[in-house]
């Protein structure tokens, strides 16, 4: 699971509701279906109006991905690639054909498949880069949708507060206690708008941007791997070249895995 996302969301909820309880408030007073309806449905509708329904639904379906691991393990990927290099060095590129069906990374599978079919490595690289950019664009579109929700949420909250205050003015003849409850209820919409925007919508947008960056980082390793395999390198040299594409900590982990293998 993506512990950073889970811990971050939980910390936000604990901070907000913990502070409310410490000040003597009652979280049950925030249970306001009209405000929640306005913020959730209204924000989705406003965001959906600025994009297509298909993209909006795709962004919602991708929410569970934010609570999973960031991406493919670079060490596992590089170890697998080195295995392909050893096989190609021993049996030639055609020796990889039997391994491609089980390869989980579609960009790597496509790149190696083109090498096996005799496609020049620079043409294979161009195709893999196009696949990478298409994948990155998908995550950018998802991130943009939640960024829109983060922008519209507080505004819809203000609209809810205005509607609530209109209701307050309609009941000015009532008692002070009743007016107090109505005014408090009016501000719940603003609370939910700001709360969800800053603790759910905008963090989700940033998470999706990070997912796209992670996929590009892994794809860069894959592209470099295919280019190297086409040149029939020494597998040990290949591991070093690919490790150089990673952060120092990840690179050290990749090189250490070779020593313990």
The domains of the chain are located at 32-261
Give the confidence band of 133 by pLDDT, cuts at 50, 70, 90. very high
Percent of the chain exceeding pLDDT 90 equals: 34
Half-sphere exposure of 258 (CA within 13 A, CB side): 20
Half-sphere exposure of 174 (CA within 13 A, CB side): 13
Give the confidence band of 74 by pLDDT, cuts at 50, 70, 90. confident
Give the confidence band of 1 by pLDDT, cuts at 50, 70, 90. very low
CA distance 123 to 137: 21
Percent of the chain exceeding pLDDT 70 equals: 94
pLDDT at position 152 is 95
User: Bigger pLDDT: 28 or 172?
Assistant: 28
User: Bigger pLDDT: 252 or 175?
Assistant: 252
Are the CB atoms for 151 and 42 separated by under 8 Å? no
Are the CB atoms for 88 and 229 separated by under 8 Å? yes
pLDDT tens digits, one per residue of 109-132: 999 999 999 998 889 999 999 999
Average pLDDT along the chain: 86
Q: Which one of 132-136, 212-216, 256-260 scores highest in mean pLDDT?
A: 132-136
């Amino acid at each position: 699971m993506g512990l950073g996302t889970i811990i971050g969301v939980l910390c936000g909820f604990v901070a907000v509701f913990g502070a409310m309880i410490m000040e003597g408030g009652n979280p049950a007073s925030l249970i306001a279906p009209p405000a929640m309806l306005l913020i959730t449905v209204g924000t989705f509708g406003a965001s959906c109006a600025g994009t297509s329904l298909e993209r909006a639904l795709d962004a919602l379906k991708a929410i569970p991905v934010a609570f999973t691991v960031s991406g493919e393990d670079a060490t596992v990927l590089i170890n697998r690639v080195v295995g392909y290099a050893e096989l190609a060095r021993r049996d030639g590129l055609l020796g990889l054909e039997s391994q491609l069906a089980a390869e989980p990374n579609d960009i790597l599978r496509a790149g190696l498949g083109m090498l096996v079919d005799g496609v020049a490595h620079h043409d294979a690289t161009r195709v893999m880069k196009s696949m990478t950019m298409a994948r990155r664009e998908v995550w950018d579109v998802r991130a943009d949708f939640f960024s829109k929700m983060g922008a519209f949420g507080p505004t819809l909250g203000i609209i809810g507060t205005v509607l609530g205050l209109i209701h307050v003015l309609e009941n000015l003849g009532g008692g002070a206690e009743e007016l107090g409850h109505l005014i408090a209820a009016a501000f719940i919409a603003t609370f939910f708008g700001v709360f969800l925007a800053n603790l759910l919508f905008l963090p989700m947008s940033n998470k999706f941007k990070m997912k796209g960056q992670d996929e590009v980082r892994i794809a860069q390793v894959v592209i470099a791997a295919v280019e190297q395999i086409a040149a029939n390198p020494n597998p040990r040299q290949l591991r070093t070249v690919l490790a150089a594409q990673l952060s120092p900590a990840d690179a050290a982990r990749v090189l250490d895995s070779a020593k313990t293998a």
